[in-house]
Amino acid sequence: MRRLSGQRIGQSVMAALAVAMFSASALAQEVGKASAVNPNATANLRTITIGASITHKERIQTTSAGSVQLLFLDKTSMTVGPNSDLTIDEYVYDPNAGSGKLAATLGKGALRFVGGQISHTGDAEIRTASATVGIRGGVALIGTHHVYAGYGSSTVSSGGSTVTLGAGEYTALQGGQPPSPPGPPPPNFVLNQIQLFQSGSGQFGGVARGAASQGNVQRAENRATGTPGGSVAGSLTPQAPPPPTPRINPVVSTLNQTIQTSTQQSAVQPLAQQIQQEQAANARPSLTLTGFVGGLMTSVFNASTYYAPSSTGVAGGTASVALDATTGRMQANFNGDVAHGPNSYYLPTTFNYQFGSTDPNLDAQGAYGDYNHFGGAAAEDKTGKPLSTINGLPVTNQVGAMLTVTREQARQLTSDDGSAATTNFCQCDYTRWGLWANQSTRSSYADTILGFWVAGRPTTATEVPTSGQATYAGHVIAAIDNQGTQYVSTGNFSNTVNFGTRSGQVTVTGLDSTNYTGQVQFLPDPRNFAGSLAGDTGARQMALTGSFFRGASSPVGEMGGAVAISGTNYLGGGIFAAQKK
């Protein structure tokens, strides 16, 4: 566990939140995904993995053995070849209007571009050291010394001159000189480019080498040009597609697919399928999660004339987290009560915090990168005043945030005694959890809260089974106040549920060197349950409230809730998250 004084815990948590909230990895605007990757590919010095997010100002570099395919939100595809250096300079896309702008710089190497919605309006541009290439509704092969239009049209500007390439036309580039007149590509150019961009050994995703034989490519070129041995130089007039060549992965679109199926639609369709598959896999869904919050609030009398001791209490309540994939916005509302016990004179009774905003008329104050990375700062109205309230009254001087937390980050919060190393953090399909913290003032009082949130996809009461058993396993994470010393601790959580008796046997082990056991009972709404657990250290008790959440394979596949811990000079507040075994 990491032990901090009451004053230091607020400063440390807020500093950590500020770094995490506004780091590029957590909140940068996502513009696309990496769908096929060779191992030796990096983006801004991080190794790209399949499905990795690509953001504004992203620089992608490959070695002689590396390549990567990028899928953008408008269904544009870029394949970066070996020994290449590409920077995404600008990407803006409005899916409602079907318009936007894409600009990138190819510093070296080669790029295959398959246009999506943005290119249909002529707003896709690739810059190289030799030229500026504008692409309209098509497929293009771009290098530092050449541009080839496989479909659609491309404009190439260099040395004060501009040429327009039609389907199958090629131009050569030479350091600041005007581009060569449009014409057929050099012999074997298309075949060599296909081989350059096909999957190599060790690649993840994409199409394996050999998806199109040299004979198939040559026959397709013959049909397009009308001459034996000719290179592709036709407009690829739509016709009945030939029998498809067997492919290992039908998702990734390649130039040989464009040649074989004879239409741009068939090249773009696999990209649409990829986007749909990613959405189905919940890469960035639009939805509202519901759940719980738990933590500790510390309040002091904000007077400079004399010293006043602080009051600390357990804060708990409900959470609602709205995620909007279209706008990239999120909004979290945490509403609840503060338990009053001994030494609770300065504590408020209720709280209503808002982080981020999905209201287009207000500042976003947060971002939705993907389903694993989102967060928001304290929400404000149009005049800059906080929207959060305590005891029903607006707060002032608010600094706060909420965000998702990874297993690694959670272990850093609780690393001092090594307990997190033995905690089995829930690898939930749909349920998400994280950290939240807030500092604000109300009248003469200053309030600091450190807590955790958990939220999942709601199920319905009729989907809760009426018979059978299931065991759920996961973790508990809580803020602890032990005789005035505050820290974070984690433990393992297990709940064996008997749906027939509407009850569950719960154990929490290793939470601040204490094990808890007890029973929970279903509430009148069978999606919810509550109960109490007894600890084996001193007189510690844990009150637990939770709900079933939807999982990938079951409407009650996951669960989450809040915990409130009490004991002699001891308090704790946090959450649990668990998945059905």
Residue length of the chain: 581
Q: What is the reported pLDDT for 42?
A: 64
Q: Is pLDDT of 3 > 50?
A: no
Per-residue pLDDT tens digits for 499-542: 999 999 999 999 999 999 999 999 999 999 999 999 999 899 99
**CA separation for the pair 45, 142 (Å, rounded):** 24
Structure tokens at 390: 């305590």
Three-state secondary-structure class, residue 488: strand
Question: Of 250, 280, 310, which residue sits at a domain end?
Answer: 280
**CA separation for the pair 93, 113 (Å, rounded):** 17
**CA separation for the pair 27, 56 (Å, rounded):** 11
| Residue 200 domain-assigned (yes or no) | yes
Q: Do both 513 and 567 map to the same domain? A: yes
Q: C-alpha distances in angstroms, 101 versus 55, 106, 136, 181, 272?
A: 14, 17, 12, 28, 19
Contact 203, 36 (CB under 8 A): yes
Per-residue pLDDT tens digits for 116-147: 888 887 779 999 988 999 998 778 899 999 99
pTM over 0.85: no
Q: Is pLDDT of 567 > 50?
A: yes
Share of residues in the chain with pLDDT > 70 (%): 73
| Residue 6 domain-assigned (yes or no) | no
| Residue 15 domain-assigned (yes or no) | no
Q: Do both 191 and 299 map to the same domain? A: no
Per-residue pLDDT tens digits for 228-248: 444 333 333 333 333 333 332
Per-residue pLDDT tens digits for 84-121: 999 888 888 777 777 888 899 999 999 999 888 888 87
Three-state SS for 362-404 is CCCCEEEEECCEEEEEECECCCCCECCEECCEECEEEEEEEEE
Q: How many domains does the chain have?
A: 2
| Residue 271 domain-assigned (yes or no) | yes
Q: Do both 149 and 295 map to the same domain? A: no
Whichever domain contains 335, its CATH number is: 2.40.160.90
Q: Do both 302 and 273 map to the same domain? A: no
Q: Do both 179 and 92 map to the same domain? A: yes
Q: Do both 212 and 291 map to the same domain? A: no
Tell me which of 454 and 405 has the higher pLDDT. 454
Q: Do both 245 and 390 map to the same domain? A: no
Given the structure tokens 């991080």, which residue do they identify?
46
Q: Do both 185 and 87 map to the same domain? A: yes
Given the structure tokens 């990375």, which residue do they identify?
373
Per-residue pLDDT tens digits for 189-202: 877 887 777 644 44
| Residue 399 domain-assigned (yes or no) | yes
Range of the domain at 462: 282-580
Three-state secondary-structure class, residue 224: helix
Structure tokens at 12: 């440390």
Structure tokens at 393: 């009254």
Max intra-chain CA distance, the chain: 96
Tell me which of 544 and 100 has the higher pLDDT. 544
Band (414; pLDDT cuts 50, 70, 90):
low
Q: C-alpha distances in angstroms, 408 versus 46, 423, 424?
A: 17, 11, 12
Q: Is pLDDT of 255 > 70?
A: no
Q: Do both 254 and 329 map to the same domain? A: no
| Residue 387 domain-assigned (yes or no) | yes
Q: Do both 197 and 309 map to the same domain? A: no
Per-residue pLDDT tens digits for 324-335: 999 989 999 999
Q: Do both 260 and 310 map to the same domain? A: no
Q: Do both 417 and 473 map to the same domain? A: yes
H helix and E strand count, the chain? 8, 35
| Residue 18 domain-assigned (yes or no) | no
Share of residues in the chain with pLDDT > 90 (%): 46
| Residue 569 domain-assigned (yes or no) | yes
Average pLDDT over residues 356-385: 91
Given the structure tokens 């810059």, which residue do they identify?
127
Residue in 252, 279, 211 with CA at minimum distance from that of residue 69:
252
Three-state secondary-structure class, residue 110: strand
Per-residue pLDDT tens digits for 418-458: 666 789 999 899 999 999 999 899 888 889 999 999 999 99
**CA separation for the pair 553, 153 (Å, rounded):** 47
**CA separation for the pair 60, 105 (Å, rounded):** 10
